[in-house]
Chains A and B, each alone.
Chain A
């Protein structure tokens, strides 16, 4: 589906499958996901809860829960195939070259360790620095993420900071070693709306300062347009459509993406109702054999329930997994048009 030129991407994920073993079932959380990330890219992975977006990046960083396992696929980071990296090898990358921001800053910081120590911890792990230099760097980071009076905050505990402040600390930790890839797993979902914008702005400005690529995981297509240049829409453990921001918003191909865009609340909309996509996401213990979205799709055809759709390349950067892009469907639509 995508051509691999001589130019190596920073991060390439090819045909990734992840299974989760539950009490007596196997959940096929990620089913053949591929994407690539270039330097300075901001890729937004969009989808509702359970679509496998978070599992995908946790699989890349080998942070899967004990029950999770990569079943197939390949992960290539910076020219190295890290698919079969051991835990020890992975520890060298995590925190320094790839780092992660978690969803809820209220729980992602250790409650009994001071802010300063938590920042210095990652420096001590990956950088050869004197204790003094580490402290300097930690202060600098606190300043960088917009925390006032770093000296004071340095010795405070997480509970003494507000949610937005804590998320800034988490960002400081993630950026401490100038990572090549920053994974942000719903970094603003747990925050107040006013704080959300601040955090996103901060990430955007920091990205240009330290030249990092960002993978932003979100269920909110609304925040994507501001920050991302590439978008991958996930549904039922698969990427159903991917492309540049403009392609996704203005040349939307997949009915699910259309539904997501329609359900962004608009200020100037007078209809008074929120648009929704009826139905519930598929059960990934026993995934449907056809298109996972077919049962909820307004435009579903017989084929959609029978066979999984193949990817159709719309442009170099834009592709979609939907039978509607199949020539037969286009023909059928054309004929119908003629009848009318």
Chain B
């Protein structure tokens, strides 16, 4: 078929082969770049991230757009349905719901982020000490965790909430006391896994110091697990706060959080259901977006890790 085009001069040794031999056919990317590209390809995660950013912006700036604040009562304007003055209406004391919802969102997010950071700090410290020291220390620390893991978290939180004065600080402390255990276990498992992997052994053989191994190999490689787990702790902290406030032992009026707002909306569910719906929609949006983003991050950065 192509024989017509074949000429004798084509049958001479070619040098091109030697050059092309070790050519890598596609561009290489680092794990982070790869993960980032995969995350960006995941439309759900991108949308979730955008919605979350908008909600955070509203939580920070929302009250600014309104001439009302979250605590001023106005008995001449109670239970107004959403209107031009009060975009989300008013509650039983005539307080502006728009201001209350975004202030409440801010408080809920604040509590969740601080609680999640504390979990992270305690959990990572505990987990890495346990796994790095190993031996006896590890054994004792693991026994402690095994006992703690047997206690339902919310029970501890409820008990602590009853003992300590109601308030944001109490909520955060109560949640962190029980919340770090999971992070500690994950970090320990990850470091133990890494410690025995070839590249760490190789580094050790090459005479790298422990400090260098921790800084250069262990920390960067545990980051994925830590970040992903934090993405799941934040919504669970938002849930815990809302739950406690809803059953009446979290924050109290006139303070606002999503749980407080849902609770007071629920009280008037017969007559003024919008007071329930608005904060309910906000909390659903936040929870769903965090969940999708968390899944997206996990799939993008750590395909091996599942539930």
Instruction: Judge A-B direct contact (beta carbons within 8 Å).
Output: yes
Contact between B25 and A305, CB atoms less than 8 A apart: no
Most buried by A among B5, B12, B14: B14
Q: Does A302 contact B (CB under 8 A)?
A: yes
- Write the B21-39 contact mask toward A (1 if CB under 8 angstroms, else 0): 1111110000000000000
Closest A residue to B23 by beta carbon equals A295
- State whether A300 touches B14 (Cβ < 8 A): yes
Is B17's CB within 8 Å of the partner chain A?
Answer: yes
Q: A294-B17, A295-B17, A328-B6 are in contact. Are A301 and B22 (CB under 8 A)?
A: no
Question: Binary interface profile of A, 92-128, with partner B (CB < 8 Å = 1, else 0)?
Answer: 0000000000000000000000000000000000000
A303-B10 CB under 8 A given contacts A283-B26, A295-B23: yes
Contact flag A307-B12 (CB < 8 Å), given A278-B21, A295-B21: no
Residues of A close to B6: CB separation below 8 A: 303, 307, 326, 328
Task: Decide if A301 touches B8 in the complex (CB within 8 Å).
Answer: no
Q: Which of B2, B9, B16 contacts A300 (CB 8 A)?
A: B16
Q: Is the CB–CB distance between B11 and A295 below 8 Å?
A: no
Decide: B21 and A283 in contact? CB cutoff 8 A.
Answer: no
The answer to whether residues A302 and B10 also contact, given A294-B17, A297-B17 and a CB cut-off of 8 A, is: yes
A262 within 8 A of B: no
Q: Are A301 and B12 in contact (CB under 8 A)?
A: yes
The chain B residue with its CB closest to the CB of A333 is B11
Separation of A329 and B6 alpha carbons in the complex (Å): 11
Q: Which residue of A lies closest to B2 (CB)?
A: A307
- Whether, in the assembled complex, B220 has its beta carbon less than 8 Å from a beta carbon of chain A, the answer is no
User: What is the CA–CA distance of A323 and B11 in the complex, to the nearest angstrom?
Assistant: 8
Judge whether A301 and B10 touch: CB under 8 Å: yes
Task: Report chain A residues within 8 Å CB of B11.
Answer: 301-303, 323, 326, 328-329, 331-332
Q: Among residues 26 to 54 in chain B, which have CB atoms less than 8 Å away from a CB atom of chain A?
A: 26
Residue of B nearest to A294 (CB): B17
**In the docked arrangement, what's the CA distance between A307 and B16, Å?**
15
Q: Are A299 and B13 in contact (CB under 8 A)?
A: yes
CB of B19 to closest CB in A, whole Å: 9
Q: Which of A277-321 contact B (CB under 8 A)?
A: 278-280, 282-283, 286, 294-307
A336 to B26 alpha-carbon distance, docked (Å)? 38
State whether A301 and B13 are in contact (beta carbons under 8 Å apart), knowing that A279-B22, A283-B25, A295-B23 are contacts in the complex. yes
Q: How far is the CB of A23 from chain B (nearest CB, A)?
A: 9
**Most central of A280, A295, A307 by chain B CB within 10 Å:** A295
> In the complex, are the beta carbons of B10 and A306 less than 8 A apart?
yes
Q: Name which of A278, A328, A329 has the most chain B CB atoms within 10 A of its CB.
A: A328
Q: Which of B195-211 contact A (CB under 8 A)?
A: none
Cβ 8 A contact of B21, one of A279, A303, A307, A326: A279
- Distance between A256 CB and nearest chain B CB, rounded to angstroms: 13
Report how far A300 CA is from B16 CA in the complex, Å.
9
| Sampled A-B contacts (28; CB under 8 Å) | A278-B21, A278-B22, A279-B21, A280-B25, A283-B26, A286-B25, A294-B14, A294-B17, A295-B16, A295-B17, A295-B20, A296-B17, A299-B13, A300-B13, A300-B17, A301-B11, A302-B9, A302-B11, A302-B12, A302-B14, A305-B16, A306-B10, A307-B5, A326-B6, A326-B11, A328-B8, A331-B8, A332-B12
Q: Enumerate the 3 nearest inter-chain pairs by beta-carbon distance, A residue then B residue, closest first.
A: A303-B10, A279-B21, A283-B25
